[in-house]
Amino acid sequence: MKRDSRELQPPNPTRVQDEKLKKLGVASVKTDLETALRHSEEAVKKNGKQDVAHERVNAREFYKTALQKAENLKLNDSDAGEIAEKAEKAKSKLKKLGEPI
């Protein structure tokens, strides 16, 4: 019985590495969006103008960073949907805080 030579080859290390990097990239985008949401929620709770501005700026920066990172990723439907939903929530909260997005 002749064996298929493909069965004997180890997985392509570049492909495995690319998958790991993709997972890290997706996780990073999700974390940035969650952080943007958290900062925007904190801005709503703050009383002083300086505190609100500080939280709003942080929220905006995390939101923008997440969008920039997401542009460079090839997302599956599930990740794309989750990221789009979180991005829309963050955008909505930032608009309510007066951010011109």
Instruction: Establish if 27 belongs to a structural domain.
Output: yes
Residue 17 backbone phi and psi in degrees, to 5: -65, -40
Q: Write out pLDDT tens, residues 5-52.
A: 556 566 666 666 788 888 999 999 999 999 999 999 999 998 888 989
Range of the domain at 39: 15-96
3-state secondary structure 14-74: HHHHHHHHHHHHHHHHHHHHHHHHHHHHHHHHCCCHHHHHHHHHHHHHHHHHHHHHHHCCC
Instruction: Establish if 55 belongs to a structural domain.
Output: yes
pLDDT of residue 96: 92
Mean of the per-residue pLDDT values of the chain: 88
How many domains are there within the chain? Answer: 1
Please determine, for residue 66, whether its predicted confidence score (pLDDT) is greater than 60: yes
Side-chain half-sphere CA neighbours of 9 within 13 A: 6
Instruction: Establish if 71 belongs to a structural domain.
Output: yes
pTM confidence score: 0.81
pLDDT band at 87; cut points 50, 70, 90: very high
pLDDT band at 82; cut points 50, 70, 90: very high
